[in-house]
Amino acid sequence: MTDTVNHVNKDDVLKLAALSAITLADDEVDSLRTDIENILGYVQQLGELDTAHVEPTYQVTDLANITRADEVIDYGVTRESLLALAPDTVDTSVKVPKVL
């Protein structure tokens, strides 16, 4: 790690705990403070990497989208026959009760 590691104090950990709606014992606060400092140090190390010549990874499994043409399949059922089955209709739509 470098010399510019962020230091996390007890108040920072307690504020994060409050925002996360968790209760921590005193020994947990100290342990979590150390863990958070380590994590921030690792993130800082990642920020120092030279990625100028690294191609972005968009897909790691080499899967591709499988698409098909949109085709209308005529099952011999008309809009009117389906609307006739609905309990209530308005124009060419099925009318349903309001949901609030």
User: How do residues 14-36 score in pLDDT, each as one tens digit?
Assistant: 999 999 999 999 999 999 999 99
Grade residue 1 by pLDDT with cuts at 50, 70 and 90. very low
Res 72: pLDDT: 87
Q: How far apart are CA 15 and CA 33, in angstroms?
A: 12
Print the domain residue range for 63: 1-100
Predicted structure pTM score: 0.50
End-to-end Cα separation, the chain, in angstroms: 56
Overall domain count for the chain: 1
How does pLDDT run across 58-78, given as a tens digit for each residue? Answer: 878 878 888 888 898 889 999
If one compares 63 and 55, the residue with the highest pLDDT of the two is 55
The 10 Å Cβ neighbour count of residue 95 is: 10
